[in-house]
Amino acid sequence: MAPRAEARQRLLEATVRTLAAEGYGGTTARSIAKTGGFAPGVIYYHFEDLEALLVAALRHTSQARRDRYEEALGSCTDATELLARLRELYAEDMRDQGHIDAVQELFTASATSPRLREELLAHVESWSEFAATAVHRLVGGTALAGVVPSRELGMIAVAMFLGIQTLTHLDGDRSRVESLFSTAEPVAILWDTFAGRNPTPEK
Amino acid sequence: MAPRAEARQRLLEATVRTLAAEGYGGTTARSIAKTGGFAPGVIYYHFEDLEALLVAALRHTSQARRDRYEEALGSCTDATELLARLRELYAEDMRDQGHIDAVQELFTASATSPRLREELLAHVESWSEFAATAVHRLVGGTALAGVVPSRELGMIAVAMFLGIQTLTHLDGDRSRVESLFSTAEPVAILWDTFAGRNPTPEK
DNA sequence: GCTTGTTCTGAACATGAGTTCAGATTCCGT
DNA sequence: ACGGAATCTGAACTCATGTTCAGAACAAGC
């Protein structure tokens, strides 16, 4: 690989690793450079500023991650198989990052940086698209089969993931949050409740 | 009111207003003091440090907000009425804060500050309790009636809210996110999907 | 081996943050 | 009206961060 591209790559990966290890608060120009084995100055040789590096790192991991998931979508024919594969991928991602998602950390910074906010929006949009078709594929024989993949469907999935990850992140002990996954029915109720539909009082 | 308590109160409120107006990034000791009409020094007369002020502000609004919602729980007998009242309260909260939730902003800081993280956990726990009983009350004649208020149920509600608010926050144009509320069924599917239950392929 | 361009270093600078504190101001009981 | 305690001010200090830049280190072609 050309040395230029290699250094860039190393910086991107250092950024992601730093985000996962130190959180957004601990992700400074110096700490990123250190993780990558560089002096602080390199960042400004390869990127316009720190913000640009963060944006590039987000785009990089978002893209890479989506490719892996998309691949699963293509290679699994059966719903059960697909589900298992997706779980596997998710578990890998979490393990690799010490159970803290670098992308999640970046949401933190969206308030301060418009550029990052825009990139996050694109990330979310992209994932909602993926999620929509994935869900569509996964609900073969369910009571709710036949639901069409829509933007809304995807966004719902993404929103749920964000919420769960936020709680996971708060609560050092992840088991408590994970136990949530065992209850399914209430969700539909909640959605109805705040969706503007009255809970049909007598039916 | 005793001057001491009044100043404290004013600082708490200034903190919340600053968070909503400037975001977490723009919420500094100086900006909070300025919002409250103080010099920066007062903060350290009334609180140990900035972190303590943030924690106190979180506890304050969490408590106050919960009281208001709890009151609705007590005063509304009918499910439809309760739902309307809760919507009203939520709309008020959002309007008062310019559609940015101060509490949501604080999640941002949970990475850096353990004290704040702990307080947020308590906040979430407290709200999950409220949400559980609220949902229980709201599902009178629904297909899913009879669900018992549990900690998990409450946490699910909180997670959904967090996720939705995060998206809302990202996307300046809130209407896009709000349209999500119109789709209900997919949620149950999603939950099943990632909950560890296989989508029963043939049923 | 020399030269030219690329890549990296690390000390230095500017800025803004949290915080401190000596003194000004205000409050209140007597 | 006085005096002392409570409250507030705002300039100043410390520190970490993003950023710059002059030069060192390296690579490649001749």
At residue A200, the pLDDT reads: 38
Mean pLDDT of A140-151: 65
Q: Which helix (H) or strand (E) holds B45?
A: helix B42-46
The Cα-based distances of B149 to A156, B79, B127, B137 in angstroms read 23, 15, 13, 9
Query: A122 or B139: which carries more pLDDT confidence?
Result: A122
Query: B56 is written with which tokens?
Result: 């106190």
* Mean local confidence (pLDDT), B111-121: 91
Tokens 């998309």 belong to A70
Task: Please name which of A16, A23, A20, A22 lies closest in space to residue A54, comparing C-alpha atoms.
Answer: A16
Give the Cα separation of A89 and B45 in Å (integer).
51
The predicted pLDDT at position B199 comes to 38
Determine the distance in angstroms separating the CA of A100 from the nearest CA of chain B, rounded to an integer. 11
Q: What is the pLDDT of residue B196?
A: 43
- The pLDDT mean for chain B works out to 82
Residue A125 sits at the chain B interface (C-beta within 8 Å): no
Helix, coil or strand: residue B84: helix
Chain A residue numbers with beta carbons less than 8 Å from the beta carbon of B142 are 189, 192, 199-200, 203
What pLDDT, on a 0 to 100 scale, did the predictor assign at position A172?
Answer: 73
SS3 content of chain B, % helix, strand, coil (to 5): 75, 0, 25
Nearest residue: Cα versus C1' of D18? A29
**Span A94-129, pLDDT tens digits:** 888 877 889 999 998 888 889 999 999 999 999 999
pLDDT digits (tens, 9 = 90+) for B151-189: 877 887 888 888 888 888 888 766 666 555 544 445 555
Percentage of chain A with pLDDT > 70?
79
Q: What is the pLDDT of residue B201?
A: 36
Contacts of B28 in chain A (CB under 8 A): none
Give the separation between CA B168 and CA A14, rounded to whole angstroms.
30
Rounded Cα distance, A59 and A49, in Å: 16
C-beta atoms of A196 and B181 within 8 A:
yes
Which bases of strand C have any atom within 7 Å of the beta carbon of a protein residue?
A: 6-12, 16-22, 27-28
* Nearest protein residue to nucleotide D20, judged by CA and C1' positions: A41
- A184-to-A64, B131, B151 alpha-carbon distances in Å: 31, 16, 13
